[in-house]
A and B are shown apart, each in its own frame.
Chain A
Amino acid sequence: MTQAAWIIPLLPLAAFVLITAAGPRLPGRGAYVSIAGIVLAGIAGLVVLGEVIGGARADVTYTWAVLGAKPITVGFVVDPLSAIMLAMVGVVASLITIYSVGYMAGDPHYPRFFAYLSLFQFSMLFLILADNFLFIYAGWELVGLCSYLLIGFWFERPAAARAALKAFITTRVGDFSMMIGILIIFLHTGSLRFDEVFKSIQGGALAGPLLTAAAVLVFGGAVGKSAQVPLHVWLPDAMEGPTPVSALIHAATMVAAGVYLVARTYPLFLFSPNHAALTVVAYIGGITALIAATMGVVEDDIKRVLAYSTISQLGYMMLGLGVLGYTAGMFHLITHAFFKALLFLGAGSVIHGVATNNIKQMGGLAKLMPWTAWTFIAATLALTGIPPFAGFFSKDQVLAAAFAHDRVLWALGAAGAFLTSLYMGRLIWYTFAGTYRGGDPHGQAHAAGHAPGRPHESPAVMVVPLAILAVFAVFLGWAGAESLGNPFEKFIHFPGIEPVAPNFGLLVVSIAIAVAGWAAAAAIYVWRIVPSESLRQAAPWAYTLLVRRYFVDDFYAWVFLGLGGAVMRFAGLFDRYVVDGLVNLIGWLARQLGLGLRYVQTGREETYLLLVFLGVVVIVVVRLVW
């Protein structure tokens, strides 16, 4: 199976083609074909993972072009990194696709959704298997396209259309930076394949500040795709898309592609002098982790809170990779995929039940939607790093690697962990505890066939994936546990990097911070010892700063729409008056010339006679003078 792993992306691609061609006529209006495609891919992915754990590897190459004497080869690689990603994407995407059958039921554009979903799955799997910069860039662009299509799925809503455009354009900035980086690499190493490039770099073909520049430029693509500061602005707005989209693309897979890229091209960062590139990665990750967490505390939209949480957790992954915690970062990626997907699907279930995203209008859902509530809470415990849930193991490894490398980065991560517990506690309290504050959820024309009244649990097709993901969220962490010999680290590690020795004191501090965050949430929201209103009045400027997202969006609008707009207007004026003016001038001159020359043709032969003799005179004068 490993040797033929390149077939795996083709399964959802075939589903996409079938649904596009004959969508509404297929069984389940396209949904079953899409599910079949991804489930088969998921099973194949698990098989490949098993084989790779057993030691199988694969590297399939084709010659793409011949430049001069050197052929450029492209192909697929199956190694532990791509195998674990294959399996994760396969499983999570399958569960989300099944869930979508329930969530998108009744939507008039049902087949189109599953077509796009399958296209995205193909793109992501293709990206994962790439063994060269060309394929990874192609996959990069494809997932960007699918993200645009899916965020703007309900394109009749202007907010959704704008959000899709914002996502595409913001990631485009990152993609451009990545392209420059790839070109620099190609120029100096003469190849696009990862193994050849890394060998050249070890041999010194690309070194010093130029290597750092290339690495940072490639990281730029990851900054865009993984919504790191300063290109993080698109992810909160991307929540306009349907919730399964948010779960799949903007929590588990596409945004993880940036982390995967850094892991795949790790030698680029390792060989840069003084690990300068790694420092950039780590600090951007750390700053993002903290800043995103601060913004999550003041959001009232359940999906937006989770979006900021995703940005923050991606920051942790980058932080982990940046402090030489290769295994820690990848482990956090895998665990985060499961519990964040669970959180989003749970949020979708909630939204499906109450027909609103605003947590201030929810409440009391723990009794009304028990399966949703308890799986959500399990995922939250994983996210905030409470043992023995999955996130505890992975986040703690990241923080340990940071502590050993740079205390400042550890401080950023720790502060972020405190805030994570705070905003998630706040979210849980408003959403699930207390009594229901909202109105009749079926008053709106959203869900079909429901009896009016109070919100109720979602159908089985949505709840079962929640339960399956919850199992992963609870137990997956043990794959990286020290006490069990850390099998994950044995599987995924970078040759030459030793894992950080476990620091028991640090472990206790991490748990304390997470619990402190929960306690703070309880103090503010549950027992109201320091109610949120008084916090807001004590530091209104802080509140404004957070609600306005540090004014980053406003700044970008001012720069690009303001300054850029001025440039555009100038260019428009220039085009209209100078360029067009020049053309109009030529026309005007021709007209004036014609108007003037009219008088030569009088129609009277006395004039013509005169002109004849005038001509003779002129010719003779010219002949005499010259």
Chain B
Amino acid sequence: MPGLTHYLVVSALLFSLGLFAVVTRRNTVAILMGVELMLNAANINLVAFNKYAAPGAMQGQIFALIVITLAACEAAVGLALVLAAYRTLETVYVDEINLMKW
């Protein structure tokens, strides 16, 4: 029977994979993908806690729904920024975007 800790372990691994992507990848879109993975991991946590630790209310699942919504907003705006940046800077690789660096 998978208990709370099983889900927490899965979520932890997913979170660190997303973290690796955010810190390591060069392509901006890839970084955003990593962010999505991290958000998903958080959602798993929330829902798992809702079922095992606080089943009386729906707060965990509602929180997860809000997170999904906001993740969608953030992805939209973020990718719009990537497009706008690509048009001006001709690149999507973060280490090549260094106009502000002296």
Contact = CB atoms under 8 A, between A and B. Distances in A.
Is there direct touching of A and B in the complex, by C-beta distance under 8 Å?
yes
Contacts of B19: 613
Interface stretch (A254-262, A529-537, A601-609): A601-609
Contacts of A603: 98, 100-102
B48 interface: no
B76 interface: no
B22 A609 contact: yes
B86 to A, nearest CB: 18
Interface string B83-102: 00000000000110010111
Interface residues of A, number: 7
Interface string B39-52: 00000000000000
B23 interface: yes
B23 A609 contact: yes
Given A613-B19, A613-B23, A606 B94 contact: yes
Contacts of B23: 606, 609-610, 613
Nearest to B101: A603
Interface in B47-102: 94-95, 98, 100-102
Contacts of A609: 22-23
Contacts of B98: 603-604
Nearest to A614: B23
A606 to B, nearest CB: 6
Contacts of B102: 603
A422 B22 CA distance: 110
A606 B95 contact: yes
Contacts of B95: 604, 606
Interface in A568-626: 603-606, 609-610, 613
A611 to B, nearest CB: 10
B59 to A, nearest CB: 25
Contacts of A605: 94
B49 to A, nearest CB: 19
Interface string B15-44: 000010011000000000000000000000
* Residue of A603, A605, A606, A610 contacting most chain B CB atoms (<10 Å): A606
Contacts of B100: 603
B81 to A, nearest CB: 14
Interface in A500-545: none
Interface in A124-163: none
Nearest to A613: B19
A605 B96 CA distance: 12
Nearest to A610: B23
Nearest to B100: A603
A609 B22 CA distance: 8
A42 to B, nearest CB: 86
Nearest to A604: B95
A616 to B, nearest CB: 10
A606 B100 CA distance: 14
Nearest to B26: A606
A609 B95 CA distance: 13
* Residue of B23, B94, B95, B98 contacting most chain A CB atoms (<10 Å): B23
A604 to B, nearest CB: 6
Contacts of A610: 23
Interface string A97-137: 00000000000000000000000000000000000000000
A603 B101 CA distance: 6
A329 to B, nearest CB: 88
A606 B27 CA distance: 11
Contacts of B101: 603-604
Contacts of A613: 19, 23
Contacts of A604: 94-95, 98, 101
A605 B94 CA distance: 9
Contacts of A606: 23, 94-95
Nearest to B23: A610
A609 B102 CA distance: 19
A603 B98 CA distance: 8
A201 to B, nearest CB: 83
A327 B97 CA distance: 106
A610 B19 CA distance: 9
A610 B94 CA distance: 14
Nearest to A603: B101
Nearest to B94: A606
Interface in A415-435: none
A606 B21 CA distance: 11
A216 B98 CA distance: 85
A609 B34 CA distance: 13
Query: Which 7 A-B residue pairs are closest in the complex by CB-CB distance?
Result: A603-B101, A610-B23, A609-B23, A606-B94, A613-B19, A604-B95, A609-B22
Given A604-B101, A606-B23, 6 more contacts: A603-B98, A604-B94, A604-B95, A604-B98, A609-B22, A613-B19
Interface of B: 19, 22-23, 94-95, 98, 100-102
5 contacts: A604-B95, A604-B101, A605-B94, A606-B95, A613-B23
